[in-house]
Structure 1
Amino acid sequence: MDHFLYKDGVLHAEDVPVADIAAAVGTPFYVYSTATLERHFNLFNDALEGLDHLVCYAMKAASNVAILKTLARLGAGMDVVSGGEYLRAKAAGVPGDKIVFSGVGKTREEMRLALEGGIRQFNVESEPEMEALSAVAEGMGLRAPITVRVNPDVDAKTHAKIATGKSENKFGIPISRAREVYALAARLPGLEVIGIDVHIGSQLTDLEPFRQAYLKVGELTGILRADGHDIRRLDLGGGLGIPYTRGNEAPPLPSQYGAMIKETLGHLGCEIEIEPGRLIAGNAGLLVSEVIYVKSGEGRDFLILDAAMNDLIRPAMYDAWHDIVPVIQPAPAAEQQPYDIVGPVCESGDTFARQRMMPALAAGDLVAFRSAGAYGAVMASEYNTRPLVPEVLVNGQDFAVIRARPTFDEILNRDIIPSWL
């Protein structure tokens, strides 16, 4: 569910007409719904009621500080994967003891930054990382709390580029080697082992891969406790999918996911962490664009938009589907026709949809990409010297620009001309 609905024939973001935002900030732009962000976070939080738990938002999905602050006010922790994300979380007012640091390539500088500012735990992914973290923490007179990310060799049955739990993926250590790796961690003076971490992929639409992974984690918990490790926290990652196409079979609900966690791991007495990102932010955002031209080609018509692959890369990178709807609601009996919907970047990959059935549109019409809140603005670039698009947050009848579109002067002034030129 989201809060982007047609009212009086115009698409609204909560109580704000999307066309009004377009008139104020120009196109293209991203717009997020506060009510949807809050609803989706609360669904996860409620799903784990009865367990000692923390919902850590995976901020790589959408990391604007205003979004983080919206979730932090509800009690969310944050899952970060870089020093920059750590600083964003802190800027949003998230205390260090609610920030989890994930990722396969943490640098010593990032480790030091998090230890200085406070950290809930590091989810470590290799022996070299353990040794580096121990050295940094010991040099600061600290012990770094860690979980070890184990790779359970479970097929998440998702896109190859967002699967992370198979043996061939770069993430974590093989679960078969967990005992020896935990033994090493226990010997390193700068580390405090507190738990286990697992994450098998993103956009999962079936609970069974989660179940397989969590049963393995439960078994490993017993083994590691028998070895003398104080396993008191289980970080289960994120990955629950969202319905990108309306009318298709819906992914499992957070309540079903929570029930499965309680069934598989609730008896262990561990604190549970989950790290949802896409399901919190995905359907909470739209990308709004204007039709520049309608072009007739050989056997097909093109809608050429002012948004491009640099603004929303998911279709080009993952062959991802986004529902694309007119901002002005078409009549119920409006005839539809197929369009290739493309952007202005000089690459054939700058294609959002092929032969998509749409009502007749004309230059100047606005369209909205649904389910664009996750992995949209955060993956955008200035390719072709196209400015990053604004981000807007709606709260009831109010809206505010939470990231402005840079001017061309601002973009060009970042370039530095060397003295010999």
Structure 2
Amino acid sequence: MGTEVLRLLAEQGADLAQRVGAPLEVIGVSVRDRSKDRGPHVDPALLTEDAEDLVRRADLVVELMGGIEPARSLILEAMAHGASVVTANKALLAQSGAELYEAADAAGVDLHFEAAVAGAIPLVRPIRESLAGDRIRRVLGIVNGTTNYIMDAMTRTGADFADALARAQELGYAEADPTADVEGLDAAAKAAILASLAFHTRVGMGDVHAEGITRVSADDIAAASRMGRVVKLLSIVERLEDADGTERVSARVYPTMIPREHPLASVSEAYNAVFVEAEAAGSLMFYGQGAGGAPTASAVLGDLVSVARLKVHGGKGPRESRYASLPIAPIDELRNGFYVALTVVDEPGVLAGVAGTLSAHGISIATIHQEPIEGDDHDGAAEGGAAAEEQARPARARIGIVTHRALEAAMTDALAALGAAPSVIAVDSVLRVEGE
């Protein structure tokens, strides 16, 4: 990404100078290894391993290191010496955003971070500025390209998770260590940023309920297809209003079944798409490349031009807005539709028992589907020990249930009761259902 930023600065320098009102001069590039070849657009004479000295000399600092430290300390040092900062570091913003905002205010500098969420898609600025006069109710979307590529590959090819992940790594969509992506942590950091902006409330990484895609199976994908749905990893942040008018904020990330007709269902490969639902503006959809060096560099340069203009012409950019300070709603208090897959003993009364357990926890069933598991046909004589063991095992069936909206806490209790039932061999999958 850093190389792409330097390439665009070199190729578009004259145009950028006109837009800013002054030329943008690169005075240094901090790297860990100066001997590494950085390509034709990076002058080796600009490379330095002394990042602290560099941030003290700059008017503007672009931080593309990632991680918490030393990025956090260097940004604070840059601000203390009067430099405005452009960053793409969602993990740092989600963990230490409050500290960085306060440091920027104290130093009278700007902090911009369009590239931290959804790559090239202009999303931060519309929420923070264009919709500043509106009231945002919900932001929902696909904000991680790696997981969307994996889910899309599983849907198109029938591959299981491990094979789809391996293919994503071969193509460079997934890192060698994909934990942050596939466990939902990257999307959760972005959800924290979006919730903070949309609801004028400080929302940190610890406030976001995050579930990844590692447990989504080929069976889940096939079941979704039979029901006219697809599975996507969604980030959802919304403003909730209780019966007494009290408002709270919810931020969560998890794999979700959505109808095939939903606009997010057709988002393929490593693309991102986000819906913003506002009271006056209605539903707005933002779509584009959510990752990659050149697309993300475009967002970085947009911030860089904005910050540089402020340096040249005076004034300050948007500050942190946290006046609402709404409480965070825990996941257990939310209501969702669910898809539940069970392996059960194939005998009369089992369906009624499952339905009764869900009903006892206040959960009603929208649809239910049962089919025998292949290989469980016990007709014919048993021969030998293995065959006798197979003959002794009861026939099994797989049940797929879609529920009406139910309290998360109630579903947790119901799943525990189902797991303990003698007729239930396994609770195979639990996915939320959205977009009905």
* TM-score band w.r.t. shorter chain: under 0.3
TM-score, with normalisation over the residues of structure 2? 0.27
Instruction: Pick the structure with more helix per residue.
Output: 2
- Comparing both chains, which one has the higher relative contact order based on Cα–Cα distances under 8 Å and sequence gaps of 6 or more? 1
Specify the structure having the higher radius of gyration (Cα).
Answer: 2
Q: TM-score, normalised by structure 1?
A: 0.27
